[in-house]
């Protein structure tokens, strides 16, 4: 099978070269696969693609690959793939579930603690020699309330860790159970001191946190998003922060993540902005500059342990796909 790997990093390249099945004819490409990505004609007959979340596999991109049978996602989310088109063409899409439940959940609290205790401002005060304890007064987590949007594998880990901080938890999910303190979204937003977004991006969750929903939140609340940037309306969030209708935000993901590369001009992954991202560019730039905002470049998943698990699951999916008669019994299909 000819298999094209996009979004490839050095760690991944070395790991995959050592372990990839001999039946695979791999080609490794550093850039993501988006509409503007040049793909040599000799590779368009590939049967498989493997990508990270920075690739956008819409119909126009996928139509180039006439022999495509498999898409191996090196991530949990699949909002960057046109699943309807894949279904029509019989393209099997496989993700890498449960590789980083604890990894991402731990990072949720990294962001909460960093923002609530003003760690970044404290470091800057040391560098600048302008230490002012009154400006570095933080917030405790003890006995406060965290609202968790999405009670999947990561959300459950967030809830578990929250108990260690003596936080009361409120949970919103489309699938309710008696296991947790489930409430409606509006109630969660109204009562939570911290709101952690841990749900997938779907048509129903796109801009789930919009101007109306943010208006329900406490003025001294903090919003944390480690899921997908498009779940939060960037403009609405920015307006709420500058108008002091929200205390702070900690974001590991933003709408149109390539805007971060454009802001600083040092990212090699993106040569240009997608057209529909131009409107987001201004507000992402503004958000980055706010002292009450932390933005990190989608690194909640990014530990050595999680990276290894991603690659191991991807390799397992590839190996299973080589044996059609296996029926994909052990694969997690989307």
Report pLDDT for 77: 84
In the chain, CATH 3.40.50.720 covers: 2-99+304-326, 101-295
pLDDT tens digits along 34-78: 998 999 999 999 999 999 988 999 999 999 999 999 999 999 888
pLDDT tens digits along 206-219: 999 999 999 999 99
Tell me the whole-structure pTM to 2 decimals.
0.84
Q: Which fold has domain 2-99+304-326?
A: Rossmann fold (3.40.50)
Listed residue (268, 262, 301) closest to 105, CA to CA: 301
Report pLDDT for 306: 95
Report pLDDT for 88: 96
Is the domain spanning 101-295 CATH 3.40.50.720? The answer is yes
Report pLDDT for 78: 87
Residues belonging to the active site: 228, 257, 298
- Residues of the chain scoring pLDDT < 50: 263-265, 269-271, 325-334
Sign of the dihedral through C-alpha 70, 74, 75, 80: negative
User: If you write DSSP's letter for every residue of 26-63 in order, what string do you get?
Assistant: EEE-SS---TT----GGGTT-SEEEE-TT--B-HHHHT
């Amino acid at each position: 099978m000819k298999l094209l790997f996009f979004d490839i990093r050095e760690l991944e390249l070395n790991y995959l070269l050592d372990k990839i099945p001999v039946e695979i004819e791999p080609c490794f490409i550093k850039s993501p696969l988006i509409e503007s990505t040049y793909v040599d004609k000799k590779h368009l007959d590939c049967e498989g693609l493997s990508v990270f979340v920075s690739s956008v596999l819409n119909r126009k991109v996928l139509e180039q690959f006439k022999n495509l049978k498999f898409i191996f996602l090196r991530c949990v989310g699949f909002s960057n793939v046109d699943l309807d088109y894949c279904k029509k063409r019989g393209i099997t899409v496989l993700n890498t579930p449960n590789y980083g439940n604890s990894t991402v959940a731990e990072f949720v609290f990294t962001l909460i603690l960093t923002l609530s205790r003003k760690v970044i401002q404290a470091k800057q005060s040391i560098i600048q020699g302008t230490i002012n304890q009154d400006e570095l007064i933080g917030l405790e987590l003890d006995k406060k309330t965290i609202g968790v949007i999405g009670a999947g594998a990561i959300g459950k880990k967030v809830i578990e860790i929250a108990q260690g901080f003596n936080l009361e938890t409120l949970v919103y999910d489309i699938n309710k159970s008696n296991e947790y303190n489930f409430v409606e979204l509006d109630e969660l937003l109204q009562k939570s001191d911290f709101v952690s977004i841990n749900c997938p991006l779907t048509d129903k969750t796109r801009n789930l946190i919009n101007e109306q929903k943010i208006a329900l939140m406490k003025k001294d609340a903090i919003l944390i998003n480690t899921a997908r940037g498009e779940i939060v309306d960037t403009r609405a969030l920015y307006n709420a922060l500058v108008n002091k209708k929200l205390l702070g935000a900690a974001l590991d993901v933003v709408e149109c993540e390539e805007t971060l590369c454009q802001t600083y001009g040092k990212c090699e992954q993106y040569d240009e902005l997608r057209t529909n991202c131009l409107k987001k560019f201004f507000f992402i730039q503004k958000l980055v500059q706010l002292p009450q905002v932390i933005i990190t470049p989608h690194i909640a998943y990014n530990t050595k342990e999680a990276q290894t698990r991603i690659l191991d699951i991807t390799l397992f999916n590839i190996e299973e796909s080589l044996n059609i008669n296996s029926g994909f019994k052990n694969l997690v299909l989307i």
